[in-house]
């Protein structure tokens, strides 16, 4: 058990070191040797967990999810589900804008397009994606979100719109406020999420 914990700790140490370097130097300028040095491990230790730098990039979604989980833990769960989605989306947008460069986020998306591993940034098993579905499901049960469309479909709409905004932010080299634009966009698609009057 202790040996397994040590292995997981080393993996996390490597991921943390990579995140720091990607943020400080940029993804393209960071080498595997830089990561090895910052993590205080060996080449063998690095390649035991990651075959290449881009594979490590794919696993960094866990860093994002830890932050989102911390934020959601502080949220008032009695709030209207649409407001919960709005607050969560705003936090995600401002967090990325404040902690991730457009170049780095672009590298993450590019890596996804060429990577076939199970563990990745856009995986439906991610905490964040499950959380969006959870809030929508609870909103449907409380009559705060339309229930004539399945949870997975509504969540997919939300996530695709959000992802599109992130990609546009990358393409435009961070020329607009991701947090502010994300909040504005929610005002538009929240109308789609509200219960529909069929009369």
Topology annotation, domain 60-193: Tetracycline Repressor; domain 2 (1.10.357)
CA 199/CA 195 separation, integer angstroms: 12
Contacts of the segment 25-31: beta carbons below 8 A, 24+ positions apart: 26/101, 26/103, 26/104, 27/57, 27/103, 27/104, 27/107, 28/103, 28/107
Q: Give me the count of residues in the chain.
A: 199
The 10s digit of each residue's pLDDT in 57-92 is 767 777 888 899 999 999 999 999 999 999 999 999
- pTM for the predicted model, two decimal places: 0.82
What stretches in the chain show pLDDT beneath 70?
1-7, 58, 115-122, 198-199
CA Rg value for the chain: 19
Domain boundaries, the chain: 2-51, 60-193
Pick the CATH number of 2-51 from 3.40.50.12660, 1.10.3720.10, 3.40.50.300, 1.10.10.60: 1.10.10.60
Residue 159 parent element (H or E) = helix 151-171
């Amino acid at each position: 058990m202790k040996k397994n914990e040590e292995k997981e700790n080393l993996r996390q140490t490597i991921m943390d070191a990579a995140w720091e370097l990607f943020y400080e130097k940029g993804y393209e300028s960071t080498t595997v040797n830089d990561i090895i040095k910052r993590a205080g491990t060996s080449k063998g230790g690095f390649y035991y967990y990651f075959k290449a730098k881009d594979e490590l990039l794919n696993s960094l979604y866990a860093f994002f999810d830890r932050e989102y989980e911390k934020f959601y833990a502080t949220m008032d769960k009695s709030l209207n589900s649409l407001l919960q989605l709005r607050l969560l989306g705003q936090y995600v947008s401002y967090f990325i804008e404040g902690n991730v460069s457009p170049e780095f986020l672009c590298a993450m998306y590019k890596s996804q397009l060429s990577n076939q591993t199970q563990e990745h940034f856009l995986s439906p098993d991610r905490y964040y994606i499950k959380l969006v579905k959870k809030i929508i499901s609870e909103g449907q049960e409380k009559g705060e979100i339309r229930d004539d469309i399945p949870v997975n479909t509504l969540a997919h709409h939300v996530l695709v719109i959000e992802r599109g905004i992130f990609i546009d932010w990358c393409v435009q080299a961070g020329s607009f406020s991701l947090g502010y634009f994300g909040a504005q966009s929610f005002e538009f698609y929240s109308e789609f999420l509200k219960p529909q009057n069929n009369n």
